[in-house]
A and B are shown apart, each in its own frame.
Chain A
Amino acid sequence: SQQGEEDPQALSIQEGENATMNCSYKTSINNLQWYRQNSGRGLVHLILIRSNEREKHSGRLRVTLDTSKKSSSLLITASRAADTASYFCATSADQGAQKLVFGQGTRLTINP
């Protein structure tokens, strides 16, 4: 079963705009990760945020985590056509095994 729900399910914006995707989850976690998946390809790891962290940055990516609300957001700034993909959040309850529970994903389309 899916752990989380992602919002929105689909997002279409113009190149250069910022894209924000949200993820909610249900159980206690050790960390939350965001992945990108291009059509027909594997998952690419973007960023990991631990349960004791509130915000993390990596290049044009900014992730926030609110454990009291069991939610996270992924912000992509200055979007590019190459950012077109599906984005998934995934939670792990275990630091060691890293068994991941994925959300349904957000399909992001960047229009040139």
Chain B
Amino acid sequence: GAGVSQSPRYKVAKRGQDVALRCDPISGHVSLFWYQQALGQGPEFLTYFQNEAQLDKSGLPSDRFFAERPEGSVSTLKIQRTQQEDSAVYLCASSTTGARAFFGQGTRLTVV
């Protein structure tokens, strides 16, 4: 596609509900990143994939957060038993090796 696509754009979840956020990277981009951006803050790194391999998940805040990229293209970030502190914008980015990252528009998650 023309850019990184994320869906849904907005998600409201009740506390305790599971959510799944989808990222379609730019075709051919090997690297894929997930970031979490709280209101008024800069994005914070969550996890990184190179093709289907998850090489770094050091930023995932708890074991309720899980990300996958089974075929090295589309990625899903899953949050189990959502809490209010999970409310944030979740940004996905993709890149070719050694090149700058292209960001999607993000998914705004609100946990009520």
CB distance from B38 to the nearest CB of A (A): 11
Digitize B13-52: 1 where CB-to-A-CB distance is under 8 Å, 0 elsewhere: 0000000000000000001010100000111110010100
CB pair A97–B44 under 8 Å, yes or no, is no
Cβ-defined contact, B31 with A88, below 8 A: no
Shortest C-beta distance, A93 to chain B (Å), equals 12
- Closest chain B CB from A71 CB (angstroms): 16
- Report yes or no: B45 in contact with A98, Cβ–Cβ below 8 A: no
The total of chain B residues at the interface (CB under 8 A) is 27
B53 to A: closest C-beta gap in Å: 12
With A and B bound together, what is the CA distance between A102 and B108 in angstroms? 19
Report yes or no: A96 in contact with B98, Cβ–Cβ below 8 A: yes
Which A residues are CB-close (under 8 A) to B33?
Answer: 98-100
- Type the 1/0 row for A90-112, where 1 means its CB is closer than 8 Å to any CB of B: 10000111111111110000000
Residues of A participating in the B interface, judged by any CB pair closer than 8 Å:
1-2, 33, 35, 40-45, 48, 88, 90, 95-105
Q: A45-B100, A95-B98, A105-B41 are in contact. List 12 more A-B contacts (CB 8 A).
A: A1-B44, A42-B104, A43-B91, A45-B101, A90-B42, A98-B95, A98-B101, A99-B33, A99-B45, A100-B43, A102-B35, A102-B44
